Amino acid sequence: MDSFEANTQFTQLLRELNPTVQSLRKAAHFAIKNWENEDYLFTSIMSILQDPKIEVNTKSTIFQFIDILVNESHTISSQPRSNYSYPYISSVKNSLPSILLDVLPASNNYNLHSVFNSLRNISRVLKIDCQKFEDDFSSFSPDILDDNDRQNIDLNVPYPNITLENSDSANDPVTRTWELLSQKRKQSYYERLRLLKHQKPVEQEVKESEMFNLRPKDKYGPNELSRKQILSRMEDDRETHKRSKENLWVVNRPKEVPYVTEHEFQQYYWNRYDSLSDKDEKALLETLDDFNTVVMASYKDNQF
Amino acid sequence: MSDRYRPPPTGPKGKRNYNEGSHPADRRPRPAGDKFTPTGPKRFQERDNYRPSSDSYKSNQNPNHSQRSFPTGPSGAKPSASGTRSAPPAGPSGYKSGTPGAGSKPTTTSTNGNYYNNTNKRHSGNFSTAKYDPLNKKPKFNPGALSRVPAVRQEPLKIPTKLDKNQIYSIRTARSSEIFQRTQQVGEGTYGKVYKAKNQVTSEFVALKRLRLETEKEGFPITAIREIKLLQSFDHKNVIGLLEMMVEQNQIFMIFDYMEHDLTGLLTHPELKLEDCHRKFLFKQLMEGTDYLHQKRIMHRDIKGSNILIDNIGRLKIADFGLARPMKIVKDGESPDYTNRVITIWYRPPELLLGSTDYGRQVDIWGVGCLLIELYTKHAIFQGYNDEVSQLHKIFNIMGTPTLEDWPDIQNLPWFEMLKPKINKVSNFEVLFKHSMTEDSFDLALKLLQLNPNKRLTAHQALNHHYFTKDPKPEPLFFLKELKGEWHEFETKKLRRKERKRLQDERERQKASGEVPGTASSRPNASPNTGMRSIPIPPSAPHTGPQTAPNSGGNDVEMTDPAT
């Protein structure tokens, strides 16, 4: 397949992408198979993301595709006697900050959560420690705003636009992406506070369109979601969530060891559990006691 | 469990002699009254006649400790046979004495070969007729039965560790009629159908929940296994218990106690008048059932009126555990990662509508809070139009949009960015509901219906609320006995559908004749065929039940059309 043909086919695949495993894998495998045309194919990923007509939902799906692509490329290449040498990984890695800004355009953060999930997966594959960012993201602290921000909220100033300059260019691109993501999160919190502070409380009943940011049917805008799109997005997210559970059980065990390694034991079993608290232990013993009573009662003859 | 069940003999597994025919029970004489004649192939006859003898089991409890710690020596291979009353006259001496010493070779060893040969004969011969004649009081001497002993001795490696196939315990009934006579259908959902049925032997009514297996491509549904497992573990007066499972003509039934009403059905009754003491009686039980489940770390995940069953004096049981699950134990900071596609949408709390996968027992509390309101108003409080956007809109319109103090970390929910309110709506809850409730019940409802799950009361805290301690005291609903009919959501919905169709027909007729519409809807009882059980339809709020959670007790085959 020549590069032009590969490019056309790939663009078609990306435009028709839907967030099912089959669809995402198919596109990823196509890209990996045509790794010789990486330059062309990667450019078409980027140009689709920058296309002003593409919807935010599709952008989220493409980000998931990038997650899968990195993952598959890594898995395939790390197999013994593999003919692949980690295609796409370095180009994705280097463009990750700008990809993030495309997927989370302006103050529109619909994709915040799904991007977080994918970015976490990517960082794990690339073995970049992002635990700090992850913890920050999933916990909540009002301290992410400084005094300056609070002043601006009081003055009802919108949050400044986030650009590539908002991250430290000396850092690793993945870390930069995390920095940008944290900014995005901060932005969304800032905007929420601003709204709570400056919007007058409404007493009477309001319509759906007055309560939520819903794109009216007749108005076109790729960066806003209609009610229908929100609902289909929810279904897609549920699908993604289901998919993420599919390989929970997978354990990375080196091929040459047929037994449970110490590392595996520690990571997957031992460290997963804390020692029982007194309360839990008591509950456990009570449950066992109940169970014993039930078993005893199930015999017709006296047991002891 | 049938009377025929007896625990297996004790002793090390390998020594239990589960070989067919070797068990003492097989040589036990049949009592004269036992006229059961098995039919079918010989294999079945053998199986059906299998009766582990409780007598010999008990006699095995003798202080002979060698039984439990038998050496692997050949003579020790028959512990359970010791002391059996049907020991044959020509048995081996060591075997008969019941005290096989460790390592002492029994005198019969030399005859082993002969017995062994007999075994083969037995298998090919008329063994079963001779041995299993139910009318024969005295045991016949059957060398074949004994022969297993030496057989085991000779081949100690072949000791089976499992029951033989023909010894797997099962009951083969020869009833000409079904034990449970189905009278009517009382429920339907994605899981299958629920019938009311009468036990022909005890004349008691039960509910049969038939599992729908036709649509299952991958065998017995794992969700049903989860449900059965949970149901088996319950022991509380306000939680439904599984009486038994039944397999009949390739259909699988779960059998429960029959309850005359469910909460949704009952509340649609036009003449039902609940006093505050009755509501308290019902709600206290609901709270206690919920507390029991939550103490056991079980989330019900489908709390709604039609899953709350009520008998004819108002005793209440929580039912339908098709979506329930025990809570995972996770470390701090880890997400248990549950699915958010649970709970019928009208009763779904805001955190689930916003896509949380890290929720807890509080999701049930929201539903219980909705039901408390429903006990007073008879209508579901948040009646969205079957999707998340509309449902959340309904909730925010009544409860107000969450403020920063209310719910600071709503921010972390996956779909919050998509469904971020762009206005600040204040709560109308008090205006709408305080006047129709008592002060205490309103206060409790307010605390149960907190938008922020972490601010909702737990079931245990709710039980300590002063609503339950203050007067009036809870009273059973004895008047339900006088109530005509049985009220389940299933039937009332069917009636309502009929009624709606009737009204529509009437309207069309009026339109055709040029009359002014709207007069007919005020006379819903006019229909002669619905009679006592006709239901007035509020023109604005059709209480037909919302979109149910998938794979659950989706009692809604027909969805409400918001336009009607």
How many whole angstroms separate alpha carbon B23 and alpha carbon B17?
Answer: 6
Residue A294 located in a structural domain: no
CB contact under 8 Å between B424 and A227, yes or no, is no
* Chain A CB contacts of B387 below 8 Å: 231
What pLDDT digit, counting tens, does each position of A259-275 carry?
Answer: 888 888 888 888 877 77
Residue B29 located in a structural domain: yes
Query: Per-residue pLDDT for A256 more than 60?
Result: yes
Residue B475 located in a structural domain: yes
Q: Are residue B248 and residue B282 in the same domain, yes or no?
A: no
Q: Are residue B247 and residue B355 in the same domain, yes or no?
A: no
Q: Are residue B242 and residue B290 in the same domain, yes or no?
A: no
Q: Are residue B288 and residue B398 in the same domain, yes or no?
A: yes
B547: closest CA among A246, A87, A22, A231?
A: A231
Q: Between A and B, how many CB-CB pairs are < 8 A?
A: 121
Q: Calculate mean pLDDT across residues B496-519.
A: 75
CB contact under 8 Å between A114 and B425, yes or no, is no
- Between β-strands B308-310 and B316-318, what pairing exists: parallel, antiparallel or unpaired? antiparallel
- Kindly give, in sequence order, each residue whose CB lies less than 8 Å from that of residue B290, ignoring residues fewer than 6 positions away: B300, B303, B318, B364, B365, B368, B459
How many whole angstroms separate alpha carbon B91 and alpha carbon B108?
Answer: 9
How many whole angstroms separate alpha carbon B520 and alpha carbon B527?
Answer: 11
Q: Are residue B288 and residue B434 in the same domain, yes or no?
A: yes
* Chain B CB contacts of A294 below 8 Å: 235
Q: Which of B452, B482, B512 is the last residue of a domain?
A: B482
What pLDDT digit, counting tens, does each position of B280-314 carry?
Answer: 999 999 999 999 999 999 999 999 999 999 998 99
Residue A127 located in a structural domain: yes
Does the predicted interface ipTM exceed a cut of 0.90? no
Q: Calculate mean pLDDT across residues B388-395.
A: 95
Q: Are residue B280 and residue B199 in the same domain, yes or no?
A: no
Enter the DSSP assignment of B421: B
pLDDT score recorded for residue B149: 45
Is B434 annotated to bind ligand? Answer: no
Q: Are residue B281 and residue B335 in the same domain, yes or no?
A: yes
What pLDDT digit, counting tens, does each position of A156-196 carry?
Answer: 888 888 888 877 777 888 999 998 998 888 888 898 889 88
Does residue B294 contact residue B359 with C-beta atoms inside 8 Å? no
Count other C-beta atoms under 10 Å from residue B339's C-beta: 16
A200-A204-A206 Cα angle (round to 5): 85
Listed range (A92-106, A163-177, B234-248) with the worst mean pLDDT: A163-177
Distance from CA of B398 to the nearest CA of A (A): 8
Does residue B235 contact residue B325 with C-beta atoms inside 8 Å? no
Listed range (A178-182, B6-10, B342-346) with the worst mean pLDDT: B6-10
Residue B50 located in a structural domain: yes
- Kindly give, in sequence order, each residue whose CB lies less than 8 Å from that of residue A167, ignoring residues fewer than 6 positions away: A97, A176, A177, A179, A180, A183
Residue B345 located in a structural domain: yes
CB contact under 8 Å between A113 and B57, yes or no, is no
Q: Are residue B357 and residue B477 in the same domain, yes or no?
A: yes
pLDDT score recorded for residue A165: 81
Q: Which of B130, B162, B194 is the last residue of a domain?
A: B162
Residue A221 located in a structural domain: yes
Domain containing residue A43: 3-254
Query: Per-residue pLDDT for B133 more than 80?
Result: no
Distance from CA of A126 to the nearest CA of B (A): 22
What pLDDT digit, counting tens, does each position of B79-120 carry?
Answer: 333 333 433 444 333 333 333 333 333 333 333 333 333 433
B354: closest CA among B391, B300, B386?
A: B391
pLDDT score recorded for residue B39: 53
B367: closest CA among B388, B390, B343, B383?
A: B343
Tell which of A202, A275, A292 to mutate to test the B interface (max B CBs under 10 Å).
Answer: A202
The secondary structure element, H or E, covering residue B124 is helix B112-124
Does residue B309 sit in helix, strand or coil? Answer: strand
* Chain B CB contacts of A142 below 8 Å: 408
Residue B562 located in a structural domain: no
Q: Are residue B282 and residue B342 in the same domain, yes or no?
A: yes
C-alpha separations of B30 from A107, A113, B41, B426, B457 in Å: 85, 72, 20, 80, 62
**Share of residues in chain B with pLDDT > 90 (%):** 39
Domain containing residue B411: 276-482
CB contact under 8 Å between A273 and B425, yes or no, is no
Count of domains for chain B: 3
Q: Are residue B251 and residue B342 in the same domain, yes or no?
A: no
Distance from CA of A183 to the nearest CA of B (A): 14
Output the domain CATH number for residue B232: 3.30.200.20
Give the distance between the most distant pair of CA atoms in chain B. Answer: 108
Half-sphere exposure of B370 (CA within 13 A, CB side): 31
B350: closest CA among B386, B277, B401?
A: B401
Residue A280 located in a structural domain: no
Residue A211 located in a structural domain: yes
- Measured in residues, chain A has a length of 304
Query: Per-residue pLDDT for A69 more than 80?
Result: yes
Output the domain CATH number for residue B405: 1.10.510.10
Structure tokens that stand for B339 in this block: 């699915």
Count of domains for chain A: 1
Average pLDDT, chain B: 72
Active site (catalytic) residues of B:
302
Query: Per-residue pLDDT for B143 more than 50?
Result: no
B401 contacts chain A (CB < 8 A): yes
Residue B497 located in a structural domain: no
Q: Are residue B17 and residue B126 in the same domain, yes or no?
A: yes
Structure tokens that stand for A212 in this block: 């939520």
Residue A27 located in a structural domain: yes
Residue B488 located in a structural domain: no
**Nearest CB to B337 within list A227, A245, A294:** A245
Does residue B195 contact residue B185 with C-beta atoms inside 8 Å? yes
Distance from CA of B354 to the nearest CA of A (A): 9
Residue A13 located in a structural domain: yes
Q: Calculate mean pLDDT across residues B371-399.
A: 94
First vs last Cα of chain B: how many Å apart? 51
How many whole angstroms separate alpha carbon B406 and alpha carbon B424?
Answer: 13
Q: Which residue did the predictor score with more confidence, B521 or B437?
A: B437
Query: Per-residue pLDDT for B212 more than 90?
Result: no
Residue A274 located in a structural domain: no
Listed range (B232-246, B484-498, B549-563) with the worst mean pLDDT: B549-563
Residue of B nearest to A298 (CA): B1
CB contact under 8 Å between B397 and A206, yes or no, is yes
How many whole angstroms separate alpha carbon B17 and alpha carbon B148?
Answer: 9
Q: Which of B257, B291, B306 is the last residue of a domain?
A: B257
pLDDT score recorded for residue B187: 86
Q: Are residue B18 and residue B129 in the same domain, yes or no?
A: yes
Residue B231 located in a structural domain: yes
How many whole angstroms separate alpha carbon A296 and alpha carbon A303?
Answer: 7
Give burial (CB, 10 Å; 0-12/13-18/19+) of B410: buried
